[in-house]
Amino acid sequence: MSFTQPISDSDKVEPASMSPRRFAGAYEDLREGLGRWRLAMWLGWRDAVLPMRRAKIGLFWVTIQSGLWVLVIAGLLGQSLGASEPFYPVYVAAGVVFFQFMTSMITDGAATFIRDASLIQNIPNPLSLYVLRVVFKALILLAAQMPIIAIAYVFVPEGLTWTLVWAAPALICVIFSLTGLILFLASITPLYRDIPYMIAAGMRVMFFATPVFWLVDTQGGLRQTVAAWNPLAHFLSLVRDPFIGAVPSVHSTAIVIGCGVVMWIIGFYSFSRTRTLVAMYL
Amino acid sequence: MVEEPLVELDNATLRLQLRGVRSANGAGVRNQASAPLVGGRIERALWGSNIVALQDISLQIFSGDRVALIGHNGAGKTSLLRMLLGIYTPSEGRCLVRGRRAGLLSLNLGLSAEATLRENIRLALALYGLPFQEIEGKTPDILEFSELNHFADAPLHACSGGMKARLGFAIATSVSPDIFLVDEAIGAGDARFALKARERIDSIFEQTRVLILSSHSYSMLKQFCTKAIWLEKGRLKAFGPLAEVYRAFVG
């Protein structure tokens, strides 16, 4: 059983062939989905917490998994790769944790409509609800991993500075920008089923092509080029810099917000084109 | 004053796209007229094939109508229900529905095995679009009706199939809409519960202004419906009094 929202007097369903109607429909969907953020939060909770509920330590496994990565990377590579970074343990910890956050947003985001195909096909709800729940799921998993960064500070307590207050606005910028991206990916994935596989393959490579655990060369070289042209490097440095005693650079902020605006335009356009087709392609 | 129809279809056509499926038509099927009665018509399209699930449907349903939806498998019954719910958008024509719509298309939608019964009720009701203020109030009723009060804080995987069906039924029938769309999903639990379920359905159907019930069981349709829509290969074959339409359908 399902109620359509809003409970209005009349409800028209017409072919959305004309652009203005498409845009209005997509806008209405987004507005309604945001209005039901609490349901999106419950769905995020369902995806993040429920699968691990029967494990004795539950969500703590997420912490352990990333913690082991950080431990191995910082322990084995710290001396050779991180010599010029005084807060290397925190650099790696925050790098791994926030890269995981972005990976989770992008991979889950692309497949979000497919994952809940039966709900979408049987209960009339705004599709943006399923985009929003990806954000909440990623945030829950991020919260579970924050203790790793806290532990990393034990090794370099002097890394903890007032710049940390920049972390929250930086994270909001990153979420804004990535939400535009996943709106785009989610809306075309039902039609192009190769996308989730492309992203899974791509994100694995990006873990190495992004300065997650290596430092950006300051004297030119391939690493500097890669870090300059890889947008994810700017996303990562924006949220990580506050943790290692630096204020996020204007350059990275501009790139993240610029990417966000572009992704939202593309995402909104593709969402408005495919919104009414998604249910039949699932 | 002329009464406004609650449901109005105007030459509504629904094409379901099969992208990348070039030759969905079986080999040798050239003459569509000789094709079997099962499933919609398949046509070639730019990017693959289209299944014409519904074609040129025009009809009006007024308050108080109890409509049976009959037709062979793949005749477009579920597609029509989904279009009326607003999940599918017509490819051509117009579909207009006035009032609160609700659909009962499947009983265990949105239930998670790892969540407790109470959590499941909350999540499912929220998915069904019930306002948050009303969810808390409905929960005790649902537990009471499904007689699962003592399992309220147990995970759903601790429940047997029949217990889950009871819960699903109790949740799905706990809100009463103006226009109720039901897809053969009725009937859950043991004999004693089936009786209870029947009473509950009776009272819900009485409250709704329009009921559209899709089923293959004539005894069930006869009990609840007075009119019938007969779909064949996505086309509206007949719309009229149930007994008449059903006789033509069988005959």
Q: How far off is chain B from A167, nearest CA to CA, in Å?
A: 32
Question: Mind listing the pLDDT tens digit for each residue in A86-100?
Answer: 899 999 999 999 999
pLDDT of residue A159: 87
Cβ–Cβ contact A198 with B under 8 A: no
**The complex's ipTM?**
0.87
Which chain B residues touch A42 with a CB distance below 8 Å?
A: 122-123, 126
Given a cut of 70, whether residue A8 has pLDDT beyond it is no
Name the least confident of A106-110, A172-176, A219-223, B122-126. Answer: A219-223
Q: Which of A155, A156, A151, A154 is nearest to A245 (CA)?
A: A156
With respect to residue A10, please indicate whether it lies within any of the assigned structural domains: no
In a domain, A12, yes or no: no
**d(C-alpha A201, C-alpha A205), whole Å:** 7
**Residue B110 to chain A, least CA–CA distance (Å):** 7
Least confident of A128-132, A273-277, B34-38: B34-38
Residue of A nearest to B96 (CA): A12
Evaluate if residue A81 carries a pLDDT over 90. no
Contacting residues of B for A113, CB less than 8 Å apart: none
- Stretch among A19-23, A140-144, A156-160, B61-65 having the lowest mean pLDDT: A19-23
Residue A219: in which H helix or E strand, if any? none
Cα–Cα distance, A29 to B219 (Å, whole number) = 41
User: How much is the pTM?
Assistant: 0.89
Q: Between A255 and B185, where is the model more confident? A: A255
Name the residue facing B127 among A12, A14, A39 (closest C-beta). Answer: A39
pLDDT tens-digit profile of B158-173? 999 888 888 888 888 8
Q: Residue A7: its chain B contacts at CB < 8 A?
A: 100
The answer, yes or no, to whether residue A6 has pLDDT greater than 50, is no
Q: Is residue A131 part of a domain?
A: yes
Output the CA torsion B118→B119→B125→B131 (10° steps).
100
pLDDT of A5 reads 44
Q: Nearest-CA distance from A193 to chain B in Å?
A: 10
Q: Which of A19-33, A103-117, A169-183 has the lowest mean pLDDT?
A: A19-33
- Note the pLDDT tens digit of each residue in A145-187: 999 999 999 999 998 999 999 999 999 999 999 999 999 999 9
Tell whether A163 is covered by a domain: yes
Q: Which of B82, B94, B177 sits opposite A14 (nearest CB)?
A: B94
| Chain A residues whose beta carbon lies within 8 Å of the beta carbon of residue B112 | 46, 50
Please name the member of B16, B98, B110 whose beta carbon is closest to the beta carbon of A119: B110
**Cβ of residue A1 closer than 8 Å to a chain B Cβ:** yes
Output the tens digit of pLDDT for each of chain B's 251 residues.
578 899 999 999 999 888 777 666 665 455 555 556 777 788 877 778 888 999 999 999 999 899 999 999 889 999 999 999 999 999 999 999 988 888 888 777 888 999 999 999 999 999 988 888 889 999 999 999 999 999 999 999 999 988 888 888 888 888 778 888 888 756 556 778 878 887 887 888 788 889 999 988 888 888 889 999 999 999 999 999 999 999 999 98
The residue type found at B49 is S
- Residue B83 to residue A7, Cβ atoms within 8 A: no
At residue B17, the 3 state secondary structure works out as: strand
Residues of chain A neighbouring B154 (CB-CB closer than 8 A): none
Residues contacting B145, CB < 8 A, separation 6+: B170, B174, B196, B200
Answer whether A210's CB lies under 8 Å from A202's CB.
no
In a domain, A61, yes or no: yes
C-beta of residue B69 within 8 angstroms of C-beta of residue B245: no
Backbone angles phi, psi at A59, to 5 degrees: -60, -20
Q: Do A121 and B174 touch (CB under 8 A)?
A: no
Neighbours of B103 (CB within 10 A): 29
Q: Which residue in chain B is spatially nearest to A1 when comparing CA positions?
A: B104
CA angle in degrees (0–180, nearest 5) for B45-A21-B76: 45
From CA A193, how far away is CA A110, in angstroms rounded? 10
Find the domain containing A60 and state its range. Answer: 17-281
Nearest chain B Cα to A17, which residue? B91
Cα–Cα nearest to A265, from A189, A180, A202:
A180
Q: Quick one: pLDDT at residue B49? A: 84
Domain assignment of residue A6, yes or no = no
Give the angle A175-A180-A182 at the CA atoms, nearest 5°.
Answer: 90
Provide the number of structural domains found in chain A. 1
pLDDT of residue B50: 86
Distance (Å, whole) CA A246 – CA A258: 21
Best mutation target, B128, B167, B209, to test chain A (most A CBs within 10 A) = B128
pLDDT of residue A85 exceeding 50, the answer is yes
A119–chain B nearest CA distance, Å: 7
pLDDT the model gives residue B195: 81
Interchain pair A13, B105: CB under 8 A: no
Segment A14-34 mean pLDDT: 83
Buried b (16+ CB within 10 A) or exposed e, A77-108: ebeebbeebebbbbbbbbbbbbbbbbbbbbbb
pLDDT at residue A4, as a whole number: 46
Distance (Å) from the alpha carbon of A124 to chain B's nearest alpha carbon: 5
A5 within some domain: no
Comparing CB atoms, the residue among A7, A9, A125 nearest residue B127 is A125
- pLDDT value, residue B183: 84
Residue A9 pLDDT > 50, yes or no?
A: no
Residues of A in contact with B83 (CB under 8 A): 13
CA distance B29 to chain A (A): 24
Distance CA A280, CA B19 (A): 11
* pLDDT computed for residue A1 by the predictor: 44
Kindly report the CA angle at A249 between A247 and A250, in degrees rounded to 5? 125
